[in-house]
Amino acid sequence: MAQPRYTFTQRLLHWLIAVLVFALLCSGTLFWTLGSEGIANLLGEDFAGTLVTTHKSVGATVLLLTLLRLVLRRRSPAPAYEPPISKLEQFVGGALHVLLYIALIAVTVGAAVAVVSAGYPLEFFGLSLELPLAENPALAQTLFGYHGLGALAIFVLVVIHTAAGIKHWRLKDGVMTRISLP
């Protein structure tokens, strides 16, 4: 019997978001370890500026693609496991997926509110969006702190999720086929 799979669009979105989240975690780690000034000193002002605007644009893209993915998920629910996996594994895997969705949305929305509260425009690949929200530096500082913690949570969830994916790939139990592209 053929392995039931997520639709092609869902599978494409999964891997596109995964690549973008990986890029965000890498650039975020650079900001966290060196700071904008450190990056500017090391790689130049232009590079540092481009990295910040690209990080913001890619974050907004991840948010939009994740929302699109949830809409598609409502239309085409997750396929059945064939062969079945244990109820416990389904529950743990499902809970991890829900946490990943929540974390991706919370971290990107929180970052957008932090950027606006800090008095900066929202940026999306050359487009600049000014929201009619009052500047609130204290809120911005708090939210940027949570942004780092949220990104760390995403990193931990992604590591656990990837380890589970690799386990299923090695077991050849069909779970990876549900989400793989070809």
d(CA 126, CA 118): 19
Give the CA-trace dihedral at 62, 60, 9, 27, to 10 degrees: -40
User: Minimum CB separation from ligand HEM for residue 161, in Å?
Assistant: 5
Q: In the range 67-106, which residues lie near ligand HEM by CB under 6 A? A: 73, 78, 93, 97, 100-101
Task: State the number of CA atoms in the 13 A half-sphere of 158 facing the CB.
Answer: 19
Question: Any long-range contacts for 71-76 (C-beta under 8 Å, 24+ apart)?
Answer: 72/7, 72/9, 72/10, 72/13, 73/10, 76/6, 76/7, 76/10
Terminal CA-CA length for the chain? 18
SS3 44: coil
Q: Which among 33-41, 106-114, 145-153, 161-169 is the span making contact with ligand HEM, rule CB under 6 A?
A: 161-169
Q: Which of residues 13, 17, 114, 140 is near ligand HEM by CB under 6 A?
A: 17
State which residue has the least CB distance to ligand HEM: 165
Q: Which of residues 29, 76, 141, 162 is near ligand HEM by CB under 6 A?
A: 162
Q: Give the x-and-dash track for 101-130 against ligand HEM (CB under 6 A).
A: x-----------------------------
State the residues that interact with ligand HEM by CB under 6 A: 14, 17-18, 21-22, 73, 78, 93, 97, 100-101, 158, 161-162, 165-166, 168, 175-176, 178-179
